[in-house]
Amino acid sequence: MLDSLQRLGKQLDFFDNIIKNPNVREGEERYLVRVVFDLDEKKVSADPRKYQQELAKEYLWIGNTFRAAREKVARLTTDNLKYLMESTDSGKADKTQWRFVEENLISNTLTLIYDFRQKGLSTSKMEELGEILSELERTFIKGSGTVVFENFDEHLKRQAVLYTVCVRKSGELIELAKHEGYRDFLRLVIGMPGDVREGTCHVCGTTTQVLLDPAFPSGSLLKVWTKDKKGFISGPSESDEAILSTFAICVKCRDEILSAWGYVKQKLNLPIANASFNAYLIPAAQEPLTKDILDKLSSQVKDAFDAVVSYDGLLKFEKALKDYSEKMLKESWYKLTVVFGKPESAHFRLLSFVQDVPVTDLHKLREQIRGVSNKACSFFEESQKSWYLGFSEIYRLLPLRKGGRGSELDWQPLVELFSSMLSFSPYPRSRLIKYAVLLARVYRFQLFDIYSNIPKPKARESDRELCRALLKFNYFFKLLEDMGVVGRAESEVREGIPIIEWESDERLRKIGEWFREMGYSGLQQGLFLLGYLVGEVGKAQYDKGDEKKSILNKIDFNGMKAEKVITLSNQILKSLRDYRLLTASNERIYYHAMKLLNKHLDELRVNPVENAFYLLSGYAFSTYIRLSGGGSRD
């Protein structure tokens, strides 16, 4: 992950992500004031430029301080003149008298350059800048009383948004913020070397001056990463040596990684599950790209990922498809690392990450999701959006418990599942089945307060939503089985899908179609058919005023052992008789259910939770088709 970030960072302009823009509205007349120290004529004057957004970058305006407000301001471009000098005006006529403040930004900059020199971090360009600044300091600041600041009138004072330090020497104007030495200087200031010493950089491997503490900004992934590294330090010691031997980074690597992370946060960051957390996409670029191509590819990869997240994302992706260059992507941006995390005010919470996802896998995943969602929507003749199975929808299928701290959900199970999907790697079937049955419990027993990611339906809709959720879960299973992420049921006998021929009846034909679509095994079909009859009985009970459908109490939502299934089958037969539901088709369903259950009696003993899932799926099917008008209500 770090090497991917670093490769990206090498392609970025370090300053791109940290430039600030003064708050200037379109069309407003504002100025950047060049404060010109004329070394030839020994005078100071204002030379304004009309402010445009490009100027912030041109003069490297990055804010007065980087980490803490109490930090001494050492900048050559600032938004406030008070860091350089103050007016001595006491309301009298002469308003051009100014004096330098004690801790002025020029002297502060010089002090830091001196520090860097001491640490062996200074560059020749920085030394050059330092020389100009010392001459300036000697001439104007040291021991001076007041100076006249020419050309800086009340009007300009009001309209100025930025100030930048310049000198005029031998008739030539030098804008110091554009001096190469100033770029070197800022990189170091932001790099905050703190304490450096000779060591080996753990990122690039060179022996050079390394930082004892990389001091990545709080609220970034990098902070988490280095903390983890420190966690590996052997022994109780947190001494410099221990840290140094575990994680040391040189200023250059730190800069590159920092700018890459800035870029990812800006351009390759997607909210998931209604912005409860984000996915950050870190590209593994093969070769240096121009900024334009990099930006273009970033937006394409982001779109491709978004299509995996939500149906709206899919639509957007398809709209953008004509500009899409898969070839370019494959050649220059083969893989990416996906980081799931949650930015919080003071820190970043890393949830999980998946390394080396080939971009082509994103496309494969999207096609699988689209395929299965299409099947679902044509089966139930409903909109594609309501059956889409992107990450944001899957979030509504996996009940997540509130963590120990009370309000926060435990995201881990969800991001683990996403990680498996992104890497097409195995996810335990039994765990998924447990979630499916838990989902049914959330609806049946109204546990929405505990599992608050499952939206609470209106009371009247509750049964319908339970059914829809379970059917959707069937498609989700199908998706993961097709992807090879989840294996088929352990109990399944490899005998192919038993085909029941019952084309005569529309209702039964639909069941047959469902079995083919889902690829149910014999046992699963038997359980489903029994569950289907639970739905029939439940409907009759509902019509007679039993809104809770007491037949559902015969299903243990935690799991159905074989004996319980047998008892249920007897109960169903009795209820079918009691409610006069033994029609020809129900009789045939019952017959097939019993035949299949008896045939697979041994398998029925294997996994009670799976039994419950397929029973409930049958119930859901019968009820949902009826409620959504797929069959008449009577």
C-beta closer to Zn ion: residue 257 or 530: 257
Token readout for 28 is 């407003």
CB 572 within 8 A of CB 533: yes
Residue 115, H or E segment = helix 105-118
C-beta closer to Zn ion: residue 198 or 408: 198
Cα 602 from Cα 597, distance rounded (Å): 9
C-beta closer to Zn ion: residue 213 or 465: 213
Choose the binding region for Zn ion from 242-250, 451-459, 540-548, 619-627 (rule: CB under 5 A): 242-250
Spatial neighbors of 380 by CB under 8 A, at least 6 apart, are: 387, 471, 624, 625, 628, 630
Instruction: Give phi and psi for 341, each to the nearest 5.
Output: -160, 170
Question: What is the closest distance, in whole angstroms, from the C-beta atom of residue 204 to Zn ion in the complex?
Answer: 3
CB 126 within 8 A of CB 133: no
Cα 111 from Cα 442, distance rounded (Å): 64
Binder among 201, 314, 397, 437 for Zn ion (CB under 5 A): 201
Choose the binding region for Zn ion from 88-96, 167-175, 201-209, 427-435 (rule: CB under 5 A): 201-209
Question: What is the closest distance, in whole angstroms, from the C-beta atom of residue 180 to Zn ion in the complex?
Answer: 21
C-beta closer to Zn ion: residue 203 or 273: 203
How many residues can be counted in the chain?
A: 634
Question: What is the closest distance, in whole angstroms, from the C-beta atom of residue 230 to Zn ion in the complex?
Answer: 18
Residue 401, H or E segment = none
CB 607 within 8 A of CB 490: yes
Cα-Cα-Cα-Cα dihedral sign, residues 581, 582, 585, 591:
positive
Question: What is the closest distance, in whole angstroms, from the C-beta atom of residue 456 to Zn ion in the complex?
Answer: 52
State how far the alpha carbon of 225 is from the alpha carbons of 221, 222, 257, 349, in Å: 6, 5, 12, 10
Choose the binding region for Zn ion from 88-96, 157-165, 225-233, 252-260 (rule: CB under 5 A): 252-260
Binder among 250, 397, 415, 552 for Zn ion (CB under 5 A): 250
CB 610 within 8 A of CB 486: no
Question: What is the closest distance, in whole angstroms, from the C-beta atom of residue 253 to Zn ion in the complex?
Answer: 3
Question: What is the closest distance, in whole angstroms, from the C-beta atom of residue 123 to Zn ion in the complex?
Answer: 16
| x-or-dash string of contact with Zn ion, 55-74, rule CB under 5 A | --------------------
Binder among 132, 253, 307, 480 for Zn ion (CB under 5 A): 253
Residue 363, H or E segment = helix 359-380
Choose the binding region for Zn ion from 116-124, 172-180, 249-257, 423-431 (rule: CB under 5 A): 249-257
Choose the binding region for Zn ion from 139-147, 157-165, 230-238, 245-253 (rule: CB under 5 A): 245-253
Q: How many CB atoms lie within 10 A of CB 232?
A: 8
Pick out residues in 202-221 that bind Zn ion (CB under 5 A): 203-204
3-state secondary structure of 548: coil
By CB under 5 A, residue 251 contacts Zn ion = no
Choose the binding region for Zn ion from 84-92, 193-201, 260-268, 444-452 (rule: CB under 5 A): 193-201
Cα 617 from Cα 619, distance rounded (Å): 5
Choose the binding region for Zn ion from 253-261, 307-315, 346-354, 386-394 (rule: CB under 5 A): 253-261
Question: What is the closest distance, in whole angstroms, from the C-beta atom of residue 216 to Zn ion in the complex?
Answer: 14
> Nearest to residue 410, comparing CAs of 308, 342, 309?
342
Question: What is the closest distance, in whole angstroms, from the C-beta atom of residue 4 to Zn ion in the complex?
Answer: 15
Cα 390 from Cα 251, distance rounded (Å): 41
C-beta closer to Zn ion: residue 253 or 362: 253
Sites of contact with Zn ion (CB under 5 A): 201, 203-204, 250, 253
